[in-house]
Structure 1
Amino acid sequence: MEKTREWVITGADGLDDLLVDELLALGGSEPRRLKGAIAVQGDLAAGYRFCLWSRLASRVLMPLLTVPSGNPDRMFDDALKYPWEQVLRPGATFVIRSAAAKGVSTHTHFAALRLKDAIVDRFRQRTGDRPSIDTENPDLSLHLFIEAQQLTISLDFSGDSLHKRGYRLAQTDAPLKENLASAMLMQAGWPARGEGRLFDPLCGSGTVLIEAALMWADAAPGLPRIHFGFDGWAGHQAELWKTIRDDAVARRLAGLQRPAPRLVGFDADGEALACAHRNAESAGVSQWITLSQRSIAEWRAPALNSVAACLPAEWAADVTGAGQNYSVPGLVATNPPYGERLGDEGSVRYLYRAIGRQLRETLPCWDAVVLAADITHADALGLEHKHTLRLYNGALPIFARHGRILPAEPELPLAFEGSLDDLPEEGMDFANRLQKNLKVSLKLAQQQDVRCFRLYDADLQEYNIAIDVYEGRLQVQEYAPPKTVDPAKAEARFKLALQIIRKVMGLHRDKVFLKVRERQSGKQQYEKQGKAGKFFEVREGQATLLVNLTDYLDTGLFLDHRPMRLRIAAEAAGKHFLNLFAYTGTVSVHAALGDGIHGGAETTTTVDMSATYLGWADRNLALNGLPDSHHRLIQADVMAWLKDERDLYDLIFVDPPTFSNSKRMDSDFDVQRDHGHLLRLSMSRLAPGGTLYFSNNFRKFVLDEALQAKFDVTDISAETIGFDYERDPKIHRCWRFRHRV
């Protein structure tokens, strides 16, 4: 009977519990936790099974010799006495790989050289032959591990790291290790849970899908490997190994006859999907995996029932309501681009919010396991938390969050419930006007599905304020009073207005945000006005957008341009879109998403000279699940950039400031003086048959007649004024430009 010996199995930090369970199932016993490894007892057959079947292990080590640390001569002498001829076959090559425990300072290369000398001298003394070193393809690998008190020499039974299954023919940037993909799936209970349904919406080169397929097929992950570390070991029992491997082959063949699982992967990158397809074919599971090129933004609920979307219609969950019993209809398992692949780390959290929102809308009550580099990103998913593993993907710490996808909460109706009771008599005119505006605006907003709009804009001279609705919040802007008005009276009037606003709207003071609006110039428009740092999400058309009601001159969403944004969304399908003086990129988001009927732009290019606003634009894109590979952000002076740009665009939006003298610009900009040159440069980038929209807010603006002679120009200002700005139709002017045929 084969004797029991100790095995040391290494794995990524954080996998201890899962790895212990796996090793026990494979024939190990008496598990003992070490730093970065698990020691178990087992016979030789168990060691073979660890190499062949472990989905989590990195290496399987067979300890041979332990000596005290800190004495190279003692190590040499003990190693010289060890019967290496029982380990290394005659004529075989070997290599020694050394490592030290954390906090141990030593020269690992010198220790490896001393061990090599001892082994070579042993063979010379016993056989007269000197074994050769091969650092590339050795027959046998020895592992030297140096700790503070002892040094352990082991046979690397597995050879190359076990996470290298052998099926990966192609990979994307920052690929997920195969054993970590398996850990995610095991954490979530796959394949027992999920009923054979698994969705990876950011599948990259397909690692999660392939590991899920191999687990479903009961396929040993080591079957494709050509070489293991024990192949060059003198004690290798080929017949025992063949029996264990033949059993694995039979199990795989039987597993492939099981009812087919439904494994679906999306990715925005076509090259990544090509990698996934090649790898799935290499692993022999491509028949079970369906791939489709789609970004997060493109797996909305209406698309799920179409064949092109790939997600089968029967995947729609039978939602029984939060808190009630349910059976898990499937599993979402994915590894988003969690920071290493995105330039703006601040955008990553909003990407995770987008993933969570889409999951709630498309696959409620499924289970999900998602990787994140930061625990706050995992929290942003909004899952009903079950378990979180802290792992390492290489040197990068990551979190695997497992939880239930909660059903999406029904959208609250846009309504405000207040009263005119107990208001001061001197404020009743304002209160009546506000209530009247509210009644009319809410009706129109609900008819047009508008969530953000202007409610009041200095309708009464003595109440010189603007009130904007951002879903359930208000921003109240006080226009700076003339110097002829007593400041004390102005302050008292403003306080009265706030009292009336909260009463009529039925809002607590924490839902009302205040700002004094003064005329700004130059770079002031880009500077922070406050430090609250509070961003809110609002919906407009197909887009979810970030607004800040306290910190900046503007909120990040120009309400008067809502009709223009929706117009571009309706016209952008399949086009290359250019957004100049882009501010927070809201128009780019609309163009990328489309109107929900025709699809979005193929690419967007967003140009602005403010890093602050481009970062905001990046977060807006991430919040809507739009991949950076299709949506460029460029920090530049628009005029200078246009002179060097050579690409053509099918749809262009130009919305310059009235005046700017930022230091980042080659010269100051005046929209009246410079718009002719700006538009000629912009039109040089417009593709034949394309459309350019030009807008500005300068009330005295006059369009250069020479432009009208050169291009097909139509004033569409009246078409771009929403119901909330009909009282002030001069809020902006807008023209449509096309090349003359």
Structure 2
Amino acid sequence: MAKQHKFTVTAARGMLPLLADELKQLGIKNTKQDQGNIRFTGTLADAYMVCLWSRVAIRVLLPIAHLHAETPEQLYEGVNALPWEEHIHELDSTIAVDFNSFRSKIKHSQYGAQRVKDAIVDRFRTLFGLRPSVDLYQPDVRINVYLKHNQATVSIDLSGDSLHKRGYRVSNTTAPLKEHLAAAILLSAEWQKLARQGWALIDPMCGSGTFLIEAAMIAADIAPGILRDYYGFTAWKQHDKDSWKQLKADAERRRQSGLARCPVIVGGDADARAIEAAKNNIAEAGLHDRIQVNQRDLTEWPKLAADLPKAGLFVCNPPYGERIGRADELHYLYESLGNIINESFSGWRTALITDNAQLGKFTGLTLFDSVPFDNGPIACDVLFYRAPRPVRFNELSSTPTQFVDEEFDDKEHAPVEMTEQGAMFANRLKKNKKHLAKWARKSDISCYRVYDADLPDYALAIDLYDEHIHVQEYAPPKQIDPEKAIERLQEAMQIIPEVFEVPVTQVALKVRKKQRGKEQYEAQAAKNQRIEVRENGLRFWVNLTDYLDTGLFLDHRDTRQLVRDLAKGKDFLNLFSYTGSASVYAAAGQAKSTTSVDMSNTYLSWAEDNMHLNGFVSGQHRYVRANCIEWLQQAIEDDKRYGLIFLDPPTFSNSSRMEGVFDIQRDHVALIKQAAALLTIDGELIFSTNRRDFELDTDALSQLTIDDISVTTIPRDFERNKKIHRCWRIKLAV
């Protein structure tokens, strides 16, 4: 069996989910996502494969040591003691050092790099009487040192240079789009799937051709690193030449096979110099016979529409006011783009990257999603727009079937083109909507679930939040073909806003995967858009875009009501408090005091906002940032007591702010015992978990009185999914 190593793959802001998908597709399973990188365990061949095939990765690092380095001397001594002769050849070798520091005493990156270089050079002088030279451009071995909180990770940079440098860029234009960013935008727009289905691609402002080349490489299954003549591992002493040779050969075979499947890809630009640069780069990439580029003004594109497929991806990197254009004039450009797409490319999707998302409104197109990416030092958003006129996949070769619903037979809400299954889905949504609306109004509830994978073809959870819709896609059942599942999702996302009569921009879509191993649900975006909703006469802030969860667990509505019923005159403790919704209910139930404990400053601030929204602003309400497990132990030592405790811990947590890994099934007994130790004699603990296969160890908790209330805490809108959570009332045994 090949030797296993630990690797770190870095990526730019917003690209980690795409990188995670790439690693999964490459068959790399043992991964862990961190801030700015993904770590995995595998062979050298696995690392080489990432270097060759990842379209969004920046670097692939092989950590070889971890050192404590508060001073330059400690850094030097630690690096000097490492066996560099196992990595660097003794004769005529060159090295370079990249050094970065975060919240450490050694702050100057250039000085840190100098001390690391000195330590390596001095070791070679001592051992061999020779020293490696420095080559900052293409060294034989590039060393990466990352110093965080005075702890240094020393790595071999297997990529050698940033992986966005594909090797085809021989000509440039003003403010060119980096290759990995173009690839990330295309992957986010599902170009890989669309290309397989025969969709075309247009870039009317192609510049040096980056979008066009990356699109062709994705469509033709060409490894993004196949043209590179330099990697950081090729002169490394432990390089596995046979594995690399085999990977390169396989990639070349795939390239030859994929070129025949390349769809229509067309680009243009008003600048003749840009067209020349694009043609040079396209030729260098070996794609001159697969990509068409010509000099043409933006207004000329409608003339070409009749000769192109009915469906395609219209992708564009318009000028930014910060770089090459006046911001106060750019809205005319966006308006023109929107008019051209509406009038001549009505079956096409659109993806635009901009440093000013407000400009996108001038297109008049329907925004489907936006993703934050960085274009070099400029923070940007990629705006994804639906086709003005939806086109079924089979419309490329035949006429689509149209199902007309009388409810939509008006000018404002035109009928949606849908399959027979789509019509069934629409009817189920309308039935559920009608069934629950009266109940919700009577209960003063503006946020509730209206659909929960009722039909196997549409594995979605759909929640209403006032005039907004939150859609989560579950992994489809195994019997559903993955390609068919994607088509059904796209169809559902057309049907949902029609049924609920809301703009598409008020529908948020997320993909919810089952947690595996150490995976956790993390931030999804960074829009910071909150809306206010009502529940049982109380008000809460929710965020439908930035996180997988919205800030309000709807299935715990009845559990929160129980907290309100029990809270009067009691000191209330909310552990793992999240956004503090249970604390709001306790305060509304006239609790004597509330204490909300969570590790996240973001959630504690959110909890305080929720309390203030309902008028609970007095000093009797406390917000404590702490690891709940550590805080519980200290609270026991301090002899704190609470009349009511709400305990809803995460199923799993490996947060960087806590030591070790928390697993609810393994750790619940100790956690419940600690929480129960804080109860008053007549106090009560409400414990809940959403882990489906959870088993409460009642034998280990025999000193407590336990009442399973799971069934009675399932709200009406979750009756179709009675396993959504488990819940118990726990008291001290008398």
* 2:379 aligned partner: 397
- Distance of aligned partners of 1:366 and 1:45 in 2 relative to their CA distance in 1, 3 Å threshold: same
Counterpart of 2:205 in structure 1: which amino acid? L
* 2:201 aligned partner: 198
* 1:161 aligned partner: 162
Q: Confirm whether residue 134 of structure 1 aligns to residue 135 of structure 2.
A: yes
- Distance of aligned partners of 1:188 and 1:106 in 2 relative to their CA distance in 1, 3 Å threshold: same
- Distance of aligned partners of 1:314 and 1:169 in 2 relative to their CA distance in 1, 3 Å threshold: closer
* 1:511 aligned partner: none
* 1:383 aligned partner: 365
Structure 2, unaligned runs of 5 or more:
391-734
Instruction: Note the 1:67-82 alignment, pairs <5 A.
Output: 67-82=67-82
* Separation (CA, whole Å) in 2 of partners of 1:347 and 1:263: 29
Q: Once the 2 structures are TM-superposed, how far is the Cα of residue 358 of structure 1 from its aligned partner?
A: 1.1
Counterpart of 2:364 in structure 1: which amino acid? G
Instruction: Note the 1:630-709 alignment, pairs <5 A.
Output: none
* Separation (CA, whole Å) in 2 of partners of 1:27 and 1:85: 32
Contact conserved, 1:371 with 1:378, CA < 8 A, in 2? no
* Separation (CA, whole Å) in 1 of partners of 2:361 and 2:106: 38
* Separation (CA, whole Å) in 1 of partners of 2:42 and 2:351: 32
Q: Confirm whether residue 352 of structure 1 aligns to residue 334 of structure 2.
A: yes
Q: Confirm whether residue 93 of structure 1 aligns to residue 94 of structure 2.
A: yes
Contact conserved, 1:140 with 1:230, CA < 8 A, in 2? yes
* 2:151 aligned partner: 150
Select the residue among 284, 299, 306 that pairs with 2:301.
299
Q: Once the 2 structures are TM-superposed, how far is the Cα of residue 142 of structure 1 from its aligned partner?
A: 0.7
* Separation (CA, whole Å) in 1 of partners of 2:361 and 2:17: 23
Q: Once the 2 structures are TM-superposed, how far is the Cα of residue 86 of structure 1 from its aligned partner?
A: 0.6
Q: Confirm whether residue 261 of structure 1 aligns to residue 263 of structure 2.
A: yes
Q: Confirm whether residue 178 of structure 1 aligns to residue 179 of structure 2.
A: yes
Contact conserved, 2:161 with 2:232, CA < 8 A, in 1? yes
Q: Once the 2 structures are TM-superposed, how far is the Cα of residue 32 of structure 1 from its aligned partner?
A: 2.4
Q: Once the 2 structures are TM-superposed, how far is the Cα of residue 386 of structure 1 from its aligned partner?
A: 2.6
Contact conserved, 2:200 with 2:308, CA < 8 A, in 1? no
Per the alignment, in what secondary structure is the counterpart of residue 19 of structure 1? Answer: helix
Counterpart of 2:266 in structure 1: which amino acid? V
Contact conserved, 1:361 with 1:407, CA < 8 A, in 2? no
Q: Once the 2 structures are TM-superposed, how far is the Cα of residue 2 of structure 1 from its aligned partner?
A: 1.8
* 2:634 aligned partner: none
* Separation (CA, whole Å) in 2 of partners of 1:260 and 1:6: 36
Instruction: Note the 1:220-299 alignment, pairs <5 A.
Output: 220-256=223-259, 258-299=260-301
Per the alignment, in what secondary structure is the counterpart of residue 340 of structure 1? Answer: coil
Per the alignment, in what secondary structure is the counterpart of residue 2 of structure 1? Answer: coil
Q: Once the 2 structures are TM-superposed, how far is the Cα of residue 121 of structure 1 from its aligned partner?
A: 2.3
* 1:526 aligned partner: none
Per the alignment, in what secondary structure is the counterpart of residue 265 of structure 1? Answer: strand
Q: Once the 2 structures are TM-superposed, how far is the Cα of residue 193 of structure 1 from its aligned partner?
A: 1.0
- Distance of aligned partners of 1:208 and 1:123 in 2 relative to their CA distance in 1, 3 Å threshold: same
* Separation (CA, whole Å) in 2 of partners of 1:56 and 1:223: 15
Contact conserved, 2:140 with 2:234, CA < 8 A, in 1? yes
Contact conserved, 1:104 with 1:147, CA < 8 A, in 2? no
Q: Confirm whether residue 313 of structure 1 aligns to residue 307 of structure 2.
A: yes
Q: Once the 2 structures are TM-superposed, how far is the Cα of residue 103 of structure 1 from its aligned partner?
A: 8.9
Counterpart of 1:282 in structure 2: which amino acid? E
Counterpart of 2:154 in structure 1: which amino acid? I
* Separation (CA, whole Å) in 2 of partners of 1:288 and 1:196: 14
Counterpart of 1:50 in structure 2: which amino acid? V
| Structure 1 residue ranges, 4+ long, deviating more than 3 angstroms after superposition | 101-105, 340-343
Counterpart of 2:235 in structure 1: which amino acid? G
CA displacement, residues 249-280 of structure 1 (integer Å, 9 cap, x when unaligned): 11111112x24411111211111111111111
Per the alignment, in what secondary structure is the counterpart of residue 144 of structure 1? Answer: strand
Instruction: Note the 1:490-509 alignment, pairs <5 A.
Output: none
Counterpart of 1:139 in structure 2: which amino acid? D
Per the alignment, in what secondary structure is the counterpart of residue 227 of structure 2? Answer: coil
* Separation (CA, whole Å) in 1 of partners of 2:285 and 2:242: 26
* Separation (CA, whole Å) in 2 of partners of 1:392 and 1:82: 36
* Separation (CA, whole Å) in 1 of partners of 2:352 and 2:335: 12
Select the residue among 374, 395, 408 that pairs with 2:356.
374
* Separation (CA, whole Å) in 1 of partners of 2:107 and 2:13: 23
Q: Once the 2 structures are TM-superposed, how far is the Cα of residue 158 of structure 1 from its aligned partner?
A: 0.5
Contact conserved, 1:143 with 1:154, CA < 8 A, in 2? yes
* 2:34 aligned partner: 34
CA displacement, residues 637-668 of structure 1 (integer Å, 9 cap, x when unaligned): xxxxxxxxxxxxxxxxxxxxxxxxxxxxxxxx
Per the alignment, in what secondary structure is the counterpart of residue 95 of structure 1? Answer: strand
Q: Once the 2 structures are TM-superposed, how far is the Cα of residue 314 of structure 1 from its aligned partner?
A: 4.4
* 1:727 aligned partner: none
% identical aligned pairs = 38
Instruction: Note the 1:551-700 alignment, pairs <5 A.
Output: none
Contact conserved, 2:221 with 2:255, CA < 8 A, in 1? yes
- Distance of aligned partners of 1:361 and 1:255 in 2 relative to their CA distance in 1, 3 Å threshold: same
Counterpart of 1:199 in structure 2: which amino acid? I
* Separation (CA, whole Å) in 1 of partners of 2:101 and 2:175: 26
* Separation (CA, whole Å) in 2 of partners of 1:76 and 1:29: 36
Contact conserved, 1:390 with 1:398, CA < 8 A, in 2? yes
Q: Confirm whether residue 84 of structure 1 aligns to residue 84 of structure 2.
A: yes
Contact conserved, 2:80 with 2:119, CA < 8 A, in 1? yes
Q: How many residue pairs align between the two structures? A: 388
Per the alignment, in what secondary structure is the counterpart of residue 264 of structure 1? Answer: strand
Counterpart of 2:298 in structure 1: which amino acid? I
Contact conserved, 1:7 with 1:61, CA < 8 A, in 2? yes
Instruction: Note the 1:205-224 alignment, pairs <5 A.
Output: 205-224=208-227
RMSD value over aligned CA atoms? 2.1
* Separation (CA, whole Å) in 1 of partners of 2:103 and 2:337: 37
Contact conserved, 1:61 with 1:154, CA < 8 A, in 2? yes
Instruction: Note the 1:407-486 alignment, pairs <5 A.
Output: 407=389
Q: Confirm whether residue 18 of structure 1 aligns to residue 29 of structure 2.
A: no
Counterpart of 1:275 in structure 2: which amino acid? A
Q: Greater relative contact order (Cα 8 A, min sep 6): structure 1 or 2?
A: 1
Counterpart of 1:349 in structure 2: which amino acid? H
Contact conserved, 1:174 with 1:340, CA < 8 A, in 2? no
* Separation (CA, whole Å) in 1 of partners of 2:130 and 2:246: 34
Counterpart of 1:241 in structure 2: which amino acid? W
Per the alignment, in what secondary structure is the counterpart of residue 289 of structure 2? Answer: helix
**Structure with bigger gyration radius:** 1
* Separation (CA, whole Å) in 2 of partners of 1:102 and 1:57: 25
Greater Cα shift, 101-110 or 352-361: 101-110
